[in-house]
Amino acid sequence: GGVALFHAVGLTPEAPDAATAFRGRAAERRFEVTAADLRTARDELTTAPDGRLDAISVGTPHFSAAEFRALAALLSGGPPFDAGVEFWISTSRAVLAEAERTGDAAVCRRAGARILVDTCTYIAPVLRASARVVMTNSAKWAWYAPTNLGIDVVFASLAECVLSARAGRVVRDPALWEAS
């Protein structure tokens, strides 16, 4: 597509540090992303008011092994998801195999997550027809889903997705969006 791609140093697997990301060269441009920038993006990508929640979709682009580990850690020892909220994880076959091997996929399934392989929930018709409000931690999903699916979106952190799935409604944690 016509989307610029970037590496986030310390976050993108191919960019564990600045030297690796820039292959020893100086960066052409540097962008500092502030907590205020993140809150603005969250608010611009959110089209639904807090409250009702029908589903959660994470993993667009596909969930990584590190994201499976993070989700499994958030889920370990806690209650399962509310029965009224579908929780979908989109991932690749290779990553799912790794998550199966480590046990992370099993932790997610025990909580009530469903795993979709090699496609995304805004392309594959897997969400319930009655789903009107879906939460996601993916800016890509939040951008495309309202047009592709005709639904409202709540953009949130992965931790807020878990809190909301358990509560059966939108739950916000303001501390996650404050400056650190």
Q: Where are the domains of the chain?
A: 1-31, 44-172
Confidence bin at 101 (pLDDT 50/70/90): very high
What value does the mean pLDDT of the chain take? 90
pLDDT-wise least confident of 19-23, 52-56, 93-97: 19-23
Give the end-to-end CA distance of the chain in Å, rounded to a whole number: 34
Stretch 107-111: mean pLDDT: 95
Which two three-digit tokens encode residue 63? 């969930």
pLDDT for residue 30 is more than 60: yes
Q: Percent of the chain beyond pLDDT 70?
A: 96
Helix or strand (DSSP H, E) at 167? helix 158-167
Phi-psi region of 17 (alpha: psi -120 to 50; beta: other; left: phi over 0): beta
Taking the C-alpha atoms of residue 72 and residue 95, their distance in angstroms, rounded to an integer, is: 14
For 39-87, what is each residue's pLDDT tens digit? 899 999 999 977 889 999 999 878 899 999 999 999 998 999 999 999 9
- Considering only residues 165 and 17, tell me which one the structure prediction assigns the higher pLDDT: 165
pLDDT for residue 14 is more than 60: yes
CATH topology of domain 44-172: Aconitase; domain 3 (3.30.499)
Which two three-digit tokens encode residue 47? 């089209």
pLDDT for residue 125 is more than 60: yes
pLDDT-wise least confident of 12-26, 40-54, 65-79, 105-119: 12-26
Taking the C-alpha atoms of residue 109 and residue 116, their distance in angstroms, rounded to an integer, is: 12
For 134-163, what is each residue's pLDDT tens digit? 999 999 999 999 998 999 999 999 999 999
CB 46 within 8 A of CB 142: yes
Q: What is the pLDDT of residue 3?
A: 60
pTM over 0.75: yes
Confidence bin at 111 (pLDDT 50/70/90): very high
- Considering only residues 96 and 20, tell me which one the structure prediction assigns the higher pLDDT: 96
Q: What is the pLDDT of residue 120?
A: 86
